[in-house]
A and B are shown apart, each in its own frame.
Chain A
């Protein structure tokens, strides 16, 4: 009986054209994938990593502590990203799903390659080298900035394009800032930009 009534209601046309358009907007708004958590997650990870190395550089704690914080932040970020990523477009298959998967793999490859380059540089320097301490914070921010600028341009996303440029400015500012303050520039400027970008995204939904 109740089923019958609900089916009848479903058959009803929307009460007005405005109501019909509102239904369309409501249904379609839900499908834009919510990427805000990725930005906030990695922004906070960068803040933690930058503060950890700033503390280590200022003698507050050892480099081992900063290394552990970095490893935990990166591993945690990757696990949470993988879970969030697999939930995007759940139950959808087709070309855009393939493109989305490639994008996810692409981020991992880009970060792994950047990390490998950094390790290669470490190999050539003395322990505790200033080159390494200056290079590491700026390198990842630079690569991430370039990626956002390009994807923002392709997807016609002004916020992403702007974020990409802001991150590159932060990367350059980081490498020109004396140690260990460069880590603070990376944490506040880079991590802060990502968190703000995530909150702006959430605000626009």
Chain B
């Protein structure tokens, strides 16, 4: 039985991770834009981002754009890898014959 990564395997964090993984590697998304796309409250999104950050899956950078503070969120290489492993595990669960998954 494959273990699904518990950090990603929660509805809200799966949505956050999938959204960030859709960006090209090296690209980052502003917090308000992420919030708008996911339709989550700022508090709720922060909570889940903190869990992803603790796992080393996202990096949060605070910067300034024309004197306005902007917070950017980016998937780390570890996070991208974890997301790829997670979706591969899902596919293996759905079709165990397609790949060699340990029993």
Which A residues are closer than 8 A to B by beta carbons?
Answer: 3, 6-7, 9-14, 17-18, 20-21, 23-24, 27-28, 30-31, 90-97
Using a Cβ–Cβ cut-off of 8 Å, how many residues does chain B contribute to the interface with A? 38
Expressed in whole angstroms, the Cα–Cα distance for A91 and B70 within the complex equals: 10
CB distance from B77 to the nearest CB of A (A): 14
A91 contacts B30, CB within 8 Å? Answer: yes
A6 to chain B, nearest CB (A): 7
Residues of chain B contacted by A97 (CB below 8 angstroms): 27
Complex Cα spacing A123 to B74, Å: 53
Report the Cα distance A13→B14, complex, angstroms.
Answer: 9
Residues B32 and A91 in contact, CB atoms below 8 Å apart: yes
Q: In the complex, what's the smallest C-beta–C-beta distance from A108 to chain B, in angstroms?
A: 23
Complex Cα distance A7/B13, Å?
11
Q: Does B26 contact A (CB under 8 A)?
A: yes
Chain A residues with CB below 8 A from B38, complex form: 27
Interface members, chain B 14-30 (any A CB < 8 Å): 14-15, 18-19, 21-24, 26-30
- Residue among B29, B36, B44, B72 with most chain A CB within 10 A: B29
- Contact in complex: A14, B41 (CB < 8 Å): no
Closest to B61 in A: A93
The distance in angstroms between the C-alpha atoms of A10 and B8, with both chains bound, is 11
12 contacts between A and B (CB under 8 A): A11-B11, A13-B4, A14-B11, A20-B14, A24-B87, A27-B19, A30-B37, A91-B32, A92-B30, A93-B28, A94-B26, A96-B24
**B interface residues, Cβ below 8 angstroms from A:** 4, 9-15, 18-19, 21-24, 26-30, 32-34, 36-38, 40-41, 43-44, 47-48, 72, 74, 87, 90-91, 93-94
- A31 CB contacts on chain B under 8 angstroms: 19, 22-23
A93 & B72 in contact (Cβ 8 Å cutoff): yes
Asked if residues A23 and B28 are in contact (CB atoms below 8 Å), the reply is no
Q: Which residue of the partner chain, among A17, A27, A94, contacts B27 with CB atoms under 8 Å?
A: A94
Are A23 and B33 in contact (CB-based, < 8 A)?
Answer: no
Chain A residues in 8 Å Cβ range of B44: 3, 6-7, 10
Q: A17 vs B95: C-alpha distance in the bound complex, in angstroms?
A: 10
Residues of A within 8 Å of B9, CB to CB, are 13-14, 20
Contact A91 B34 (CB under 8 A): yes
* Contact, CB under 8 Å: A20 / B48: no
The distance in angstroms between the C-alpha atoms of A17 and B2, with both chains bound, is: 11
CB distance from A127 to the nearest CB of B (A): 50
The answer, among B14, B29, B37, B91, for a CB contact under 8 Å with A23, is B14
